[in-house]
Amino acid sequence: MRNNLNRRSFIKGASAAAAGVSSINSGNAHANDSIKKPELRKSSVNYLERTNKAYMEKFTIIDAHAHIGEGETFPIPFSYEKDLVDTQNVLGVKANCVSHLTALGVDYSKGNDLAIEAAESFPGRFWCYAVANPHFSNDIIHELTRAFDKSSYVRGVKLHPSFHSYPPIGPNYNPAFEFANERSLTILSHTWGSAENMIKIATKYPNTKLIHAHAAARWAGTKDHIDRHGIGIHPFLEAAHDYENIYVDLCASVAYYGVFEQVVDIAGADNILYGSDTPYMDAGYQIGRVLLADISDSEKSKIFGLNIARLLGIDV
Amino acid sequence: MNDLQLFDCDVMLGRIDGHFATYQGGLNSFETVEELETALDKFGVKNALVYSSWAKFQNTENGNDLLAKSIKSKKNLYPCFIISPEMEFDKSFPETFIRSLRDNNVSAVKVCPTSNYYELEQYVMNDIFNILNKIRMPVFIDHDTVKWQDPFNWSQVYALCRKYPQIPFIPCRHGRKTARNVFPIMKECDNLYLDISYFQLNRAIEVVADKFGAERMIFGTGMPVFDPRLPITGLVFSQLSDKEKALVASGNIKHLIGRVDYSKV
Helical H segments across B5-52, by residue range: 33-42
Q: Do A281 and B200 touch (CB under 8 A)?
A: yes
Pick the closest to residue A128 from A173, A177, A95, A166 (CA basis): A95
Residue A237 and residue A240: Cα distance in Å, rounded? Answer: 5
Is B209 within 8 Å of chain A by CB? no
Residue A143 and residue A127: Cα distance in Å, rounded? Answer: 17
Q: Do B2 and A77 touch (CB under 8 A)?
A: no
Query: A58 near A301, Cβ under 8 Å?
Result: yes
With a cut of 70, say whether residue A256 has pLDDT above it: yes
At residue A42 the predicted structure's pLDDT band, cuts being 50, 70 and 90, is: low
Q: Do B202 and A79 touch (CB under 8 A)?
A: yes
What residues in B contact A227, CB-CB < 8 Å?
A: 24-25
Is B46 within 8 Å of chain A by CB? no
With a cut of 60, say whether residue A38 has pLDDT above it: no
Mean pLDDT, consecutive 10-residue segments, chain B of 265 residues? Answer: 84 81 71 94 94 94 97 98 96 97 98 94 94 98 89 94 98 92 97 97 96 98 94 96 97 98 96
DSSP structure string for B219-265: ----BTTB-THHHHHHHHTSS--HHHHHIIIIIHHHHHHHT--GGG-
Each residue of A85-109: pLDDT tens digit? 999 999 999 999 999 999 999 999 9
Pick the closest to residue A291 from A305, A308, A279 (CA basis): A305
Q: Do A225 and B236 touch (CB under 8 A)?
A: no
Q: Is B189 exposed, middle or buried (0-12, 13-18, 19+ CB in 10 A)?
A: middle
Strand, coil or helix: B52: strand
- Give pLDDT, residue A31: 36
Separation in Å, CA A300 to CA A297, B84, B239: 5, 45, 24
Query: B51 near B12, Cβ under 8 Å?
Result: yes
Complex-level ipTM beyond the 0.90 threshold: yes
What residues in A contact B147, CB-CB < 8 Å?
A: 228, 253-254
Q: Torsions phi, psi of A298, nearest 5?
A: -65, -45
